[in-house]
């Protein structure tokens, strides 16, 4: 049981967080525009797991990334960005496909995406990936790599090895029909993964895509019914509702200034993971997750210049 006032005892490993999945280029409109009528877009480093790998490093812990990029300028841009941020890239694979990218509208609510995928799902289970996996305290992945083969098999193997070796598994159930093969029941597959991981953090939009419209309380219960161990349902400006199956708590947002929501969920994950690794209780780690998310919301882009997590704690009096 992941009790809120307990600290998670991690094994002594060299790497703290291993993020597995997509590295992407985010092309974000320079103006607020939900209809893609803006003529100018700016290039940003992107991909949820990669964002988390960089964020946690800035917050003060070690990270590694396992992903696949193309042998092209965008791929070099992404790897260089990771290296500049001192993220371990030893298990990033260079493949003969174009680097994936996402077009996004700058937004103060939920940004509108258009996906252009190629290299990201050509992620194989390799010796390099397994070595860094076994030397990590926790792993994180999202729906992107499980939406297509061969990356889906890779994640299934990663989960199997992680569970055998008592490595904590976090899953972002950010289901979106546009990233799945036409005609495939991605919803059912995502639901089948829930019981195999330790922590999930759906947004309200994620829950609606998986279960339809319902109250946050009912959505939370549906994830628990699928076998979830700790569910963190984030509700935007309304904070979040969290349950471990025995106790349910509510937390308020700490955001007061919202400039761009891109990467806010990744920022939460980053603060939460960093706090867990540093020995905070689950309850304290949740608060610090909201703190890091609030800090990120003040800036444009998924990856920003975050301070160490102790500064976040001080700034938001957590």
Please state the three-class secondary structure of the chain as a single string. Answer: CCCCCCCCCCCCCCEEEEEECCCEEEEEEEEECCCCCCCCEEEEEECHHHHHHHHHHHHCCCEEEEEEEECCHHHHHHHHHHHHCCCEEEEEEEECCCCCEEEEEECCCCCCEEEECCHHHCCCCCHHHHHHHHCEEEEEEEHHHHCCCCHHHHHHHHHHHHHHCCCEEEEECCCCHHHCCCCCCHHHHHHHHHHHCCEECCEHHHHHHHHCCCCHHHHHHHHHHCCCCEEEEECHHHCEEEECCCCEEEECCCCCCCCCCCCHHHHHHHHHHHHHHCCCCHHHHHHHHHHHHHHHCCCCCCCCCCCCHHHHHHHCCC
- As a whole number, mean pLDDT of residues 36-56 equals 87
Structure tokens at 297: 């919301």
Q: What is the pTM of this model?
A: 0.92
Judged against a pLDDT cut of 90, whether residue 228 lies above it is answered with yes
CA distances from 18 to 15, 41, 63 (A): 7, 30, 6
Better pLDDT: 31 or 61 = 61
Per-residue pLDDT tens over the stretch 68-125 = 999 999 999 999 999 999 999 999 999 999 999 998 887 666 667 888 999 999 999 9
pLDDT at 41: 87
- pLDDT band of residue 235 (cuts 50, 70, 90) is very high
pLDDT at 209: 96
Judged against a pLDDT cut of 90, whether residue 26 lies above it is answered with no
Mean pLDDT estimate for the chain: 93
Q: Domain boundaries in the chain?
A: 15-315
Query: How would CATH label the architecture of 15-315?
Result: 3-Layer(aba) Sandwich (3.40)
d(CA 161, CA 141): 14
pLDDT at 110: 67
User: Do the strands 136-142 and 41-46 form a parallel or antiparallel pair, or are they unpaired?
Assistant: unpaired
pLDDT at 109: 66
């Amino acid at each position: 049981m992941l009790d809120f006032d307990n600290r998670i005892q991690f094994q002594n490993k060299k790497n703290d967080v291993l993020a597995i999945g997509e590295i992407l280029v985010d092309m974000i409109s320079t103006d607020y525009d939900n209809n893609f009528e803006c003529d100018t877009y700016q290039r940003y480093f992107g991909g949820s797991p990669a964002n988390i790998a960089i964020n946690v490093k800035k917050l003060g812990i070690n990270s590694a990334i396992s992903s696949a990029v193309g042998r092209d300028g965008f791929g070099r841009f992404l790897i260089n960005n990771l290296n500049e941020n001192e993220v371990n890239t030893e298990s990033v694979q260079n493949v003969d496909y174009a680097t994936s990218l996402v077009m996004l509208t700058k937004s103060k609510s939920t940004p509108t995406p258009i996906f252009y995928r190629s290299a990201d799902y050509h992620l194989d289970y390799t010796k390099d990936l397994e070595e860094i996996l076994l030397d990590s305290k926790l792993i994180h992945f999202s729906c992107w790599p499980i939406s297509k083969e061969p990356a889906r098999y890779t994640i299934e193997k990663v989960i199997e090895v992680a569970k055998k070796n008592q490595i904590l598994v976090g899953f972002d159930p950010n289901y979106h029909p546009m990233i799945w093969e036409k005609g495939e029941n991605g919803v059912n597959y995502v639901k089948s993964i829930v019981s195999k991981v330790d922590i999930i953090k759906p947004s309200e939009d994620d829950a609606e895509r998986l279960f339809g419209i319902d109250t946050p309380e009912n959505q939370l219960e549906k994830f628990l019914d699928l076998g979830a161990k700790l569910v963190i349902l984030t509700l935007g400006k309304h904070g979040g509702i969290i349950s471990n199956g025995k106790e349910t708590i509510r937390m308020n947002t700490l955001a007061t200034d919202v400039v761009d929501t891109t990467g806010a969920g990744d920022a939460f994950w980053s603060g939460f993971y960093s706090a867990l690794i540093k020995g905070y209780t689950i309850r304290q780690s949740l608060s610090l997750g909201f703190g890091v998310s609030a800090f990120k919301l003040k800036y444009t882009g998924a990856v920003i210049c975050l301070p160490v997590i102790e500064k976040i704690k001080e700034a938001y009096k957590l």
